[in-house]
A = this chain, B = another copy of it.
Amino acid sequence: MTKPLDPQMFDPACPSSVTPIRIGDKWTAMIVICLEDGPRRFSEFLVPLHHVTPKVLTETLRALERDGMVTRTAYPEIPPRVEYELTPLGRSLLDLVDACRTWGDKHLSQLIEARDAYWQRVDSGH
């Protein structure tokens, strides 16, 4: 069985939030990472993705389903249960996530330094 997702999985203070690379829309990469170890239910995503609303989560998952990145399986039970799982195509995004992480590990600190220096110059009146 797959373990529960860590609520602290995505630290809002993490500098990766300033990365210039983006996969899909705002929550896409995090959802893909959540699905790395196996299928997940709708409500499971709400735990690590603290501030996502059901509406936006649904939209993002639908887009992933539309593009063949995830499969959606609804079980006809009460209460309802729906599971999302990465397809091989969706799993290929994990390589990109890794590439972005690698780039960030190597270069993000330079970007942040450059940005700080830029504002120093600007704020101190040209």
Contacts and interface: CB of A to CB of B under 8 A. Distances in A.
B111 A89 contact: yes
Chain A contact residues, majority secondary structure: helix
Interface residues of A, number: 28
Nearest to A28: B20
Interface of A: 20-24, 28, 65-69, 89, 92-93, 95-96, 99-100, 103, 106-107, 110-111, 113-115, 117-118
Nearest to A93: B20
Given A21-B23, A22-B21, A103 B114 contact: no
Nearest to A119: B66
A40 B73 CA distance: 51
